[in-house]
Amino acid sequence: MDALMASYASDSDSDGGEPAAVSGGAPEVPEPSALLPPPPLDLLHPPNFVGMIPCAPISLNLISDDVLSADVVIPSDARKQLALSMKRAASLVPDLYAVDADYALSELCKDEQKLEKVLLSREFHVSLGRPVAVQVHQIDSFVAMLRQKFQPQQQYCMEFNKWEHFVNDDCTRSFLSLEVTRTGLPEIRKQILMVDEVYRLHGLPEFYTNPRPHISLVWALGDVSGKLKQAIKDIEKYQSSMSSLQKCNVRCKFSRVVCKVGKKVYDICKVAD
């Protein structure tokens, strides 16, 4: 089949090239018997033809499990304070939505139980690598290398201690997030370096130069950095007026790493309690 397809390709001009000059005047027209018939469609597009989708979207996330319970991410004593912070954010930035659930934050804030259940009692993800498109034939080696890299991982704690806002690369969404700046930061950055090495071997873009691990709670369309900055100032002012016992302390344990390729999720590593 390759030889037959090559013979058809040889009859056409090369891409972007000039037609060959013919000496002696007008070009010679080949006899009808010398012309090849059009190739059959099933030859050019066999049953296993991938078509126009040679790549699959991929994202790599570190999942943080709750210190006290593997069933939730955010400890119950922290959820109450986070709920109050979310209400303050909703009053300043009306068009916020819960990450992944896509419920309007303003509606969730009308029912505190629903706010905690939909927004805060869920699994959050800390990105270890950029969302990229990986070629289908690379997926097996990509996953295998990641599993090998993460095999000796041990459990550690991380603390989400700083409110921050982020905007995605194409400025289509803004996020209100909790960032890790102290406990757990060195361990997460080591994991990011391991992922970068696997990305590099597969010709994929590495992570940002200065990684800032975080979990995003809510999002808004477009770049609303100004509004989110004001919301953070209001939240921090409110928290500074509270006693140390009342302040939110979102402390989690590293539990496992998962890799999502399209709709399929691969377990990379899982650390027992």
**Structural domain count, the chain:** 1
Segment among 33-42, 103-112, 116-125 with least mean pLDDT:
33-42
**Predicted confidence (pLDDT) per residue in 91-101, tens digit:** 999 899 998 88
Assess contact for 51 and 205: CB atoms under 8 A. Answer: no
CA distance 2 to 10: 12
- Helices 185-201/139-150 angle, 10° precision: 150
Mean pLDDT value of segment 130-152: 88
CA pair distance 127, 60, nearest whole angstrom: 6
Q: How confident is the model at residue 212 (pLDDT cuts 50, 70, 90)?
A: very high
Decide if 74 contacts 63 (C-beta within 8 A). no
Q: How confident is the model at residue 60, as a pLDDT?
A: 60
The C-alpha atoms of residue 47 and residue 97 are separated, in whole angstroms, by 43
Answer whether residue 48 is part of any domain. no
Compute the average pLDDT of residues 171-179.
95
Among 49-63, 216-230, 247-261, the least confident range: 49-63
Task: Please give the single-letter amino acid code of residue 176.
Answer: L
pLDDT at position 19: 38
28, part of any domain:
no
Q: Is residue 251 within 8 Å of 158, Cβ to Cβ? A: yes
In a domain, 147, yes or no: yes
Both tokens of 199, joined, read 């990305």
Looking at residue 108, which CATH number applies to its domain? 3.90.1140.10
Q: CA distances (Å), 254 to each of 84, 110, 223, in order?
A: 26, 33, 31
Percent of the chain with pLDDT over 70: 70
Number of H helices, E strands in the chain: 8, 9
Six-digit token string for 82: 């986070």
Q: Does 62 have pLDDT greater than 80? A: no
Residue 230 has, within 13 A of its CA and on its CB side, a CA count of: 8
Distance (Å, whole) CA 67 – CA 75: 7
Q: Flag whether pLDDT at 162 surpasses 90.
A: yes
Answer whether 0.85 is exceeded by the pTM: no
d(CA 226, CA 221): 13
Give the tens place of pLDDT for each residue, 3-53: 444 444 444 443 444 334 444 445 555 554 445 555 554 444 444 434 344
Residue 13 pLDDT:
41
Identify the domain containing residue 65 by its residue range. 61-270
pLDDT of residue 79: 85
Q: Quote the pLDDT of residue 152.
A: 85
Q: Is residue 74 scored above 80 in pLDDT?
A: no
Residue 38 falls within a domain, yes or no? no
Segments in 39-75 forming alpha helices (H): 41-44
Helix ranges (DSSP H) in the chain? 2-9, 41-44, 76-92, 105-108, 112-115, 139-150, 185-201, 225-240
Residue 7, amino acid: S
CB burial string 223-251: b at 16+ within 10 A, e below: bbeebbeebbeebeeebeeeeeeeebebb
The reported pLDDT for the residue numbered 111 is 93
Residue 213 lies in a domain: yes
Give the per-residue pLDDT at 9: 46
Angle of CA points 144, 148, 152, to nearest 5°: 150
Question: What DSSP state is assigned to residue 117?
Answer: I
- Assess if residue 194 is contained within a domain: yes
Looking at residue 167, what is its pLDDT? 94
Residue 221 pLDDT grade (very low, low, confident, very high; cuts 50, 70, 90): very high
Report if residue 169 sits inside a domain.
yes
Q: Across all residues in the chain, what is the average pLDDT?
A: 77
CA distance 93 to 233: 13
In a domain, 196, yes or no: yes
Q: What is the pLDDT of residues 233-251, one digit of tens each?
A: 999 998 888 765 455 568 8
Pairwise CA distance, residues 70 & 253, whole Å? 9
